[in-house]
Chain A
Amino acid sequence: MPERLREKIGATRGYDKFMENALPGKVPFWLDPKKRAIMFQIAVLAMVGLLAYYLVSNTLFNLKKQSIATGFTFFQRESSFEIGESLIPYSAASSYGRALVVGALNTLKVAFIGVVFTIILGAILGVARLSSNWLVSKLAAIYIEVMQDIPVLLQLFFWYAIFYETLPSPGQALCPISGLFLCNRGVAFAVPESHPAHKYMVLALLVGCGVVYLLRRWARKRQEKTGKMFPVFRVSMGIVVGLPAITWLAFGAPMNMDIPKLVGFNFEGGITVSPEFIALLLGLILYTAAFVAEVVRAGIQSVSKGQREAAMSIGLRPPLVVNLVVLPQALRVIIPPLTSQMLNLTKNSSLAVAIGYPDFVSVANTTINQTGQAIEGVALIMAVYLIFSLSTSAFMNWYNKRVALVER
């Protein structure tokens, strides 16, 4: 029944009364849509419940038979396996719980770095795809098409193979620029030697960010009041880069670098990144960037040419046209699909298990193999990724709401 009609009838004579008049005699309950819906739902719920009960009872029976204890008590037990790389102190004597935390942090590390580089590369490719330079746009198109059509797992294997088959052993490491060494054990590069100044430089950076935040608020208020624009971007870049630089100079500009040196079969000093991490990062970035490029291209194309022309006709210079007119509108189209690409990257980082990078899935898998706690292990994997996904999409929804069109 169309709702408007129902409202009309309901307002005048009462819907039920109308039904009674229209259909003489009582409606059997299986023909009453409302009652039928309730019955149908009860039936579905009962079926789902029965299925769940059946599966759970089978599982409990099987677990009992194989004498596997359920629960998360294995968290406190000693893990007795090593993890190749870790952001927090960890050894084989640590507990399983700590091992899982190490895995989760490794996943976050690769996802975070991956997301940053993917957005940069994806934006460049998306703009290149729209370039008026035929060569650039065709090359970008080929890249996007090829990368999208090859499974990411295959790409990971490929980069990993390139690393351990093509690159020489640490003894003959390639050294394209001084301080950077490429070999089949990973990439080693020089970092500034630790110095008390670094702590203050970080502090200066934080202070700079705070000042920039206040400056932006002040500039926006002033512009709203007086219409005068303030070169916010240039001044804030100056503050963010300048404050740490001044601190660095104040400490006498420490220039010493910690350069990796070959000791035995491995590099010591500097920072060494494992081939697994690089292969994973490279595979994820190159693959996801192709999708991000398409998202960016679609976003830019969604801003009609008239918008740009209108902006230019009121006398805005090209950078301002992009900043004030094109980007705010394009971002609104770009953000939602971009979010799902970022989540895809995070989820795809679970493929690390195939090339041996100790991410969460990989550590959980080892834990399952050692303790036999399969259900808990897989449930943990799912829970962790759900938390990542839900929190990312919550953040992106918040951001999306901020940049969304305010219709008047």
Chain B
Amino acid sequence: MEEAIQGTHLEELKPPVTSVGVIGWVKNNLFNGWFNSILTIVILFFLWKTVPFLFRWAFIDSVWHTPGQGCREAAGACWSIISTNFRFIIFGFFPYEQQWRPLLAMMILFGLLFYSRDRNHWKKPLGYAWIMGLFTMGLLMKGGLFGLTPVESTQWGGLPLTLLLSVFGLTAAYPLGVLLALGRQSKMPALKLLCILYIELIRGVPLISLLFMSSIIFPLFLPEGITINKILRAQVAIILFTAAYIAEVVRGGLQGMSRGQYEAAESMGLNYYLTMRLVILPQALKIVIPPTVSILISAFKDTSLVVIIALFDLLKTTQSVLSNPEWMGFSREAYIFIAILYFLGCFSMSNYSRKLEKELSRGD
């Protein structure tokens, strides 16, 4: 038997060269059909015309460490605007000798964020660590305790301000948003109406109108003699704005809960508070983690709007460098640098959200 098989030895046929390997891949992915072939050629031609040019501009002809005059003579990009003004762009008017403090605060923030990446770490101690961390960050920025020189909030600026507005904004907006969502789903008509009015009103207007309100009208709301600083007012506006969007996302999660969950909780004798806290919210909030992250991303991007009410966030410090005659005319380089910073922040968030979505859909 074995001999017979050996005897009728079949020659192994390899697949044709044109359907495997590099050639096969190119044929299947770039030149399948006449339309795609033309498209590929046109795009390759376009890339060949632009990419080397941009590469030369950004890396070969560019200057990295010269004063403004050297930049004007260079043919390529002027990255010196970043390297020379780096500390001002990042820290704004924060006193020069004290800039280790916002740096440390940001490092604490990044450390906490990095540690929170893993879902196995989401336990109570992490919550306490966050509270401690936020408190330490506030202390580092403000000073006045433990021998730290107090720094007026008018001197806060740059990246720490951007991060501060986003992180504190989100921390405060999240619980408020959950409350609003619960209010909107509630059976009490007055409460429901108030929440609907609030959510729809806020979602219907641009953030900038709320920021105007915080900077122009809010002082009128307060009794005589009391003033609240500008950053806090902008922060309140961002919180109120983001909360309405979070409320809508959370509502989606609440609506996704089946009636059985409510009934089961009720049949166990849980009251409203316990039903929500132990049964409904843990599940509903878990479903909506991915859309919540996209709200976080847009809130992070939206903090850039405080430029319009003249707070010195990352964008505004960059613009004030650009208004210096020495660096006038290098907006492209400066804005590209800021764009890269924002991109890194948002991209890591959206990447994380995708990873989390995958983990959650695995159903562990």
The digit string for A150-190, where 1 denotes a CB below 8 A from any CB of B, is 11111101100110011000000000000000000000000
Query: Chain B at the A interface: mostly helix, strand, loop or mixed?
Result: helix
Q: Please indicate the chain A residues that have their CB under 8 angstroms from the CB of B267 in the complex.
A: 2
The digit string for B165-201, where 1 denotes a CB below 8 A from any CB of A, is 0000000000000000000000111110010000001
The winner among A136, A150, A155 for most chain B CB atoms within 10 A is: A150
Residue of A nearest to B186 (CB): A37
Say yes or no for B17: interface residue by CB 8 A criterion: no
Interface size on B, residues (CB 8 A): 57
The digit string for A33-47, where 1 denotes a CB below 8 A from any CB of B, is 000010011101100
Interface set, chain B 73-88, CB cutoff 8 A to A? none
Sample (17) of A-B pairs whose CB atoms are under 8 Å apart: A2-B263, A45-B190, A59-B220, A62-B224, A65-B224, A131-B39, A133-B40, A134-B29, A135-B40, A145-B350, A154-B339, A158-B331, A165-B329, A351-B305, A365-B212, A382-B209, A386-B204
A150 touches which of B39, B187, B342 (Cβ 8 Å): B342
CB <8 Å contact, A58 and B40: no
Compute how far the CA of A162 lies from the CA of B333 in the bound complex, rounded to whole angstroms.
11
CB <8 Å contact, A375 and B339: no
Compute how far the CA of A162 lies from the CA of B329 in the bound complex, rounded to whole angstroms.
10
The 4 closest A-B pairs by CB, nearest first: A161-B331, A149-B346, A134-B29, A347-B206
B308 touches which of A44, A133, A136, A353 (Cβ 8 Å): A353
CB <8 Å contact, A382 and B205: yes
Interface set, chain A 338-373, CB cutoff 8 A to B? 347-348, 350-351, 353-354, 361, 365, 368
A353 touches which of B32, B207, B208, B335 (Cβ 8 Å): B208
CB distance from B57 to the nearest CB of A (A): 12
Say yes or no for B360: interface residue by CB 8 A criterion: no
Residue of A nearest to B213 (CB): A378
CB <8 Å contact, B30 and A134: yes
Interface locus among B3-11, B110-118, B275-283, B296-304: B296-304
Compute how far the CA of A375 lies from the CA of B217 in the bound complex, rounded to whole angstroms.
6
Interface set, chain A 19-51, CB cutoff 8 A to B? 37, 40-42, 44-45, 48
Compute how far the CA of A316 lies from the CA of B253 in the bound complex, rounded to whole angstroms.
40
Q: Please indicate the chain A residues that have their CB under 8 angstroms from the CB of B48 in the complex.
A: none
Q: Please indicate the chain A residues that have their CB under 8 angstroms from the CB of B329 in the complex.
A: 165
CB <8 Å contact, B347 and A145: yes
CB <8 Å contact, B297 and A149: yes
Say yes or no for B146: interface residue by CB 8 A criterion: no
CB <8 Å contact, B204 and A390: yes
Q: Which residues of A contact B (CB under 8 A)?
A: 1-2, 37, 40-42, 44-45, 48, 55, 58-59, 61-63, 65, 131-136, 139, 145-146, 148-155, 157-158, 161-162, 165-166, 347-348, 350-351, 353-354, 361, 365, 368, 374-375, 377-378, 381-382, 385-386, 389-390
Say yes or no for B332: interface residue by CB 8 A criterion: yes
Q: Please indicate the chain B residues that have their CB under 8 angstroms from the CB of A136 in the complex.
A: 36, 39-40, 43
Q: Please indicate the chain A residues that have their CB under 8 angstroms from the CB of B190 in the complex.
A: 41-42, 44-45
Q: Please indicate the chain A residues that have their CB under 8 angstroms from the CB of B308 in the complex.
A: 153, 351, 353-354
CB <8 Å contact, A161 and B335: yes
Compute how far the CA of A240 lies from the CA of B204 in the bound complex, rounded to whole angstroms.
37
Asked whether A150 and B206 contact (CB < 8 A) given A37-B187, A58-B220, A161-B332, the answer is no
CB <8 Å contact, B204 and A151: no
Q: Please indicate the chain B residues that have their CB under 8 angstroms from the CB of A155 in the complex.
A: 339
Compute how far the CA of A1 lies from the CA of B205 in the bound complex, rounded to whole angstroms.
41
CB <8 Å contact, A385 and B216: no
Q: Please indicate the chain B residues that have their CB under 8 angstroms from the CB of A153 in the complex.
A: 304-305, 307-308, 315
